[in-house]
Amino acid sequence: MSLRPLRACRVPGCPATVDSGFCPAHGGAAASGPWATPSSAAGSRLRGRKWMALRLSVLSHEPTCYLCHAFAHHDDIVDHLIPLAGGGSDDRENLHRCCRPCHRLKTSRESQASRTGASR
């Protein structure tokens, strides 16, 4: 049992109290949002020490941004060629060093393509 005080269900007008979120009667309301279910890649994504070791390996083996070929900078990003949301993975072949300006541009293009339904 949680030590936090009970709160009202997040559905307006519902008299039920819960630790957080929705009451059991409105559990479906939470499941209908865009963040209700994790992406298919969420379970396979590396995290913690394994990800940091892989990230360091990518950054140390690639001296330049794979898009603009600018030399390494301290805040470069390890980018997925095929995004996790698009079926990509954390395999080494799918990861490359990317400078922040190129990463911002690539992410913007991918977001626009997903909004319009166009392929990359």
What value does the mean pLDDT take over residues 87-100? 93
Backbone angles phi, psi at 80, to 5 degrees: -90, 120
DSSP-assigned beta bridge partners for residue 72: none
Identify the residue with better confidence: 10 or 98. Answer: 98
- Find where tokens 């307006």 sit: 12
All domains of the chain, ordered by start, with CATH? 1-37 (no CATH), 48-116 (3.40.1800)
* pLDDT tens digits, 8-60: 888 888 888 887 777 777 774 444 444 455 555 555 678 889 999 999 999 99
Residue 81 is given by DSSP the state: S
Question: Which pTM does this prediction carry?
Answer: 0.59
